[in-house]
Chain A
Amino acid sequence: MDDYQTCPKCKTTKYRNPAMVLMVNACGHALCESCVELLFAKGSGACPECKCPLRRNNFRVQLFEDPAVDKEVDIRKRILKEFNKRQEDFPSLREYNDYLEEVETIIFNLVYDIDPTNTNKMIDNYKKENKDITQKNRNRQSQEEMELEVLLEAEKAQQSEKANLYVNAELEEKKQKHKAREKLIDELMFSDADAKSIVASHVQATAALAKEQPKAAAQLSSGVVKSSKFSSGVQIGLRGQHTNSFLPIPKQEDLPLYRYTAPVFDYDGPPPPPIEKLGKLNYFANIRAANITERAGGYTEAMSCCRALQEALGGLFYSPQLTHKAAVLATNASTPDTDDMETT
């Protein structure tokens, strides 16, 4: 897709070089990097399409395919720095929505160059009236950003500590092994006991040591819990400590494993022979054989034979019962409806 985008100035170069990056300017038109440099090397700063005066630092690397989108995103960022009121600042939802609509109108006008003088006037008016609220909101936003930063930092710190711990644990292990080996050699050299017994006891000692290592490592890793409270009970960190604590994941109970039970058919009659045995019992001699087209479709004589037999034998044990709605009505007959019964 990137190959489609052409730099409007040099046109051909973009096709041949997909690594080429398009830059977008303040009036929303795209230019490839080399053309931008060319333009400013000459010293003149005019957009090749619309001829509005440009500055070098007004060119940003294009993030979106459509340069118009980039332009709008830019304008939006700029405007929203000024118009940063939130829902809590308004007494009713309707007013908040009106405010938002005003913001959108301004952005729209700026993007499509509709009535720029009026729009700019509106912006200036707003700026004047709402200076302090804007300032307060800005501070609040930066506070939130700070919180996020703190969280990120804490995570990073945790990770680095863990890494350090592991490195330390490894070093410790190595040291211990080294010590043990030296001890063994010393004992062999200086003690009077039997060499074999010394080696055996040494092996036991190393085995016991090996078991202790994982336990120690586990203990160490769990020791990096950050304290969330001062000793007096006041919570550390900015407001919203609930971001650090999470609800425990509900434990899944052990449900019984699924067990397959074959379906049981109640034929209410003598059981028909199963479909696999029909051939052996020579039922097919008495049924029309499937012709080639039928067999190609997957039909076999066994199917219709089995079905006929099931229907024939099913229901033979049936004894008459009243299941019609009349049965239900009969049970309700203890409370007779005057409509139904004839009264003279």
Chain B
Amino acid sequence: MFATSTQRHFWMFKDENDVSNARLSANIKYISSRGRNMTVAERETHFLNVVEEKSLIMSYEYQLRDFCRKFHPPMPRYVIGTALHYLKRFYVNNSVMDYPPKEILVTCVYLACKVEEFNVSMDQFVGNLKGDREKAAAIILNNELLLMQQLDYQLTVHNPFRPLEGLMIDMKTRFPTFSDPERLRPGIDEFLEQVFYTDAILIYSPSQISLAAIIHSASTSKENVDEYITKILFSEDQKRLLNLIEAVKKIRVMVRNVQLPHRDTIKALEKKLALCCNPDNNSESPAFKKRMKQSFDEEESFEDGQYPSASSNQVRNMLMGLSEMGKI
């Protein structure tokens, strides 16, 4: 349950400011470690600031959703929800410049498929990607542990979809005066899609979010479900009712303010990112490749606790051999 989950105990924030502060501290940390020899003005131009990072992340969230929508076999909603959760959590603790978001994105989806028991083999998964498949597989496998580590190995995510179903059932049973709550479904689905682009999932509990979805959808179709809430759900507690109303209001405000950033801004930001990103973690950069090749040549035998690092060529050959034998 949510009340006893790690999500509630370790990954919740008080409000949007807190989330921004966390992102800010990650950003500052990266800048101060990389831009030690620069002046303040130089840093501003060279590195991304928090707002720009946020826009970048939002664009990548959209990309994630698109990727999952076109995924074959069709991916259920809760897997997408979990993947978005992971992405958000990862970039609350780390800066966008530190780890390339494209790689983290695919790793998040892959990990979410595993955790939510939506079984997809690596072959099937990279089949959905464009470009070099073995390389992608290698990237995903290399990043998986990193991702889990940054999530503190707390992988269970509570999404708003099951509470939504529960509330629907409850409404149909205990509030029969409201005819056919299924009419509200399209509005609800849209709301829930949008809510994943906000930080609401890091601040409010999933049942509150789904209740906000119901209320929103009801109000857009000019219906009123207040009676259900006051009479049936919160018949005893007035104070808690106020608390909930406040929460719902804030969630709806957040969703209303969601704005997909403009494509040109995103392009510019990406260019800037390519300049200031951390070359050690970016598998495209020549420095990374050189380092990988070096470390592979030097370490023929690996000590305890270290994983063998391979250059992409070696990995490619290995993966090809493996895929010929059977499945990876």
A residues within 8 Å of B by Cβ? 265-270, 281-283, 285-287, 305, 307-326, 329, 339-342, 344
Is B218 an interface position by the 8 A CB rule?
A: no
Residues of B within 8 A of A311 (CB): 1-2, 158, 162-163, 166, 206-207
- Tell whether, in the assembled complex, residue A309 and residue B169 are in contact, meaning their CB atoms are under 8 Å apart: yes
Other A-B contacts than A269-B3, A321-B12, 6 sampled, CB-CB below 8 A, are A266-B4, A311-B158, A313-B233, A314-B163, A322-B18, A326-B22
- Tell whether, in the assembled complex, residue A316 and residue B32 are in contact, meaning their CB atoms are under 8 Å apart: no
Residues of B within 8 A of A287 (CB): 169
| Complex Cα spacing A341 to B312, Å | 37
Quote the shortest CB–CB distance from B21 to chain A (angstroms): 7
| Complex Cα spacing A344 to B39, Å | 8
- Tell whether, in the assembled complex, residue B173 and residue A283 are in contact, meaning their CB atoms are under 8 Å apart: yes
Is B50 an interface position by the 8 A CB rule?
A: no
5 A-B interface contacts by CB (under 8 A): A283-B173, A315-B1, A316-B244, A324-B12, A324-B202
Which residues of B from 265 to 281 have beta carbons under 8 Å from A? none
B residues within 8 Å of A by Cβ? 1-4, 8-15, 18, 21-22, 25, 28-29, 31-33, 40, 92-93, 158, 162-170, 172-174, 202-208, 210-211, 233-234, 236-237, 240, 243-244, 247
Quote the shortest CB–CB distance from A125 to chain B (angstroms): 53
| Complex Cα spacing A283 to B169, Å | 7
| Complex Cα spacing A315 to B9, Å | 13
Of B11, B22, B165, B208, the contact of A316 (CB 8 Å cutoff):
B208
Question: Which A-chain residue is minimally distant from B4 (CB atoms)?
Answer: A266
User: A319 with B243: in contact, given A311-B166, A312-B170 (CB under 8 Å)?
Assistant: yes
* Best-surrounded residue of B3, B13, B240 (most CB of chain A within 10 A): B3
| Complex Cα spacing A270 to B25, Å | 37
- Tell whether, in the assembled complex, residue A270 and residue B234 are in contact, meaning their CB atoms are under 8 Å apart: yes
Main secondary structure on B side of the interface with A: helix
Quote the shortest CB–CB distance from B79 to chain A (angstroms): 17
| Complex Cα spacing A305 to B169, Å | 8
- Tell whether, in the assembled complex, residue A268 and residue B3 are in contact, meaning their CB atoms are under 8 Å apart: yes
| Complex Cα spacing A280 to B9, Å | 36
Quote the shortest CB–CB distance from A100 to chain B (angstroms): 38
- Tell whether, in the assembled complex, residue A321 and residue B166 are in contact, meaning their CB atoms are under 8 Å apart: no
Residues of B within 8 A of A268 (CB): 2-3, 205
- Tell whether, in the assembled complex, residue A323 and residue B169 are in contact, meaning their CB atoms are under 8 Å apart: no
Question: Which B-chain residue is minimally distant from A267 (CB atoms)?
Answer: B3
Of B2, B15, B92, the contact of A315 (CB 8 Å cutoff):
B2
Across the A-B interface, give the 10 residue pairs with the lowest CB-CB distance, nearest first.
Answer: A312-B166, A315-B205, A308-B166, A318-B205, A286-B172, A268-B3, A312-B163, A322-B14, A315-B2, A326-B22
- Tell whether, in the assembled complex, residue A326 and residue B25 are in contact, meaning their CB atoms are under 8 Å apart: yes
- Tell whether, in the assembled complex, residue B167 and residue A312 are in contact, meaning their CB atoms are under 8 Å apart: yes
- Tell whether, in the assembled complex, residue B28 and residue A341 are in contact, meaning their CB atoms are under 8 Å apart: yes
| Complex Cα spacing A318 to B244, Å | 8
- Tell whether, in the assembled complex, residue A313 and residue B166 are in contact, meaning their CB atoms are under 8 Å apart: yes
| Complex Cα spacing A319 to B248, Å | 11
- Tell whether, in the assembled complex, residue A312 and residue B22 are in contact, meaning their CB atoms are under 8 Å apart: no
| Complex Cα spacing A311 to B243, Å | 19
User: A310 with B166: in contact, given A267-B3, A315-B2, A344-B40 (CB under 8 Å)?
Assistant: yes
- Tell whether, in the assembled complex, residue A340 and residue B3 are in contact, meaning their CB atoms are under 8 Å apart: no
User: A267 with B167: in contact, given A315-B205, A315-B207 (CB under 8 Å)?
Assistant: no
Residues of B within 8 A of A314 (CB): 1-3, 163, 205, 207
Quote the shortest CB–CB distance from A110 to chain B (angstroms): 49
- Tell whether, in the assembled complex, residue B1 and residue A265 are in contact, meaning their CB atoms are under 8 Å apart: yes
| Complex Cα spacing A1 to B12, Å | 71
Residues of B within 8 A of A318 (CB): 2-3, 8, 204-205, 208
- Tell whether, in the assembled complex, residue B93 and residue A325 are in contact, meaning their CB atoms are under 8 Å apart: yes
- Tell whether, in the assembled complex, residue A281 and residue B13 are in contact, meaning their CB atoms are under 8 Å apart: no
Residues of B within 8 A of A285 (CB): 172-173
| Complex Cα spacing A305 to B166, Å | 7
Quote the shortest CB–CB distance from B234 to chain A (angstroms): 7
Quote the shortest CB–CB distance from A321 to chain B (angstroms): 6
Question: Which B-chain residue is minimally distant from A282 (CB atoms)?
Answer: B173
| Complex Cα spacing A325 to B6, Å | 12
* Best-surrounded residue of A310, A314, A320 (most CB of chain B within 10 A): A320
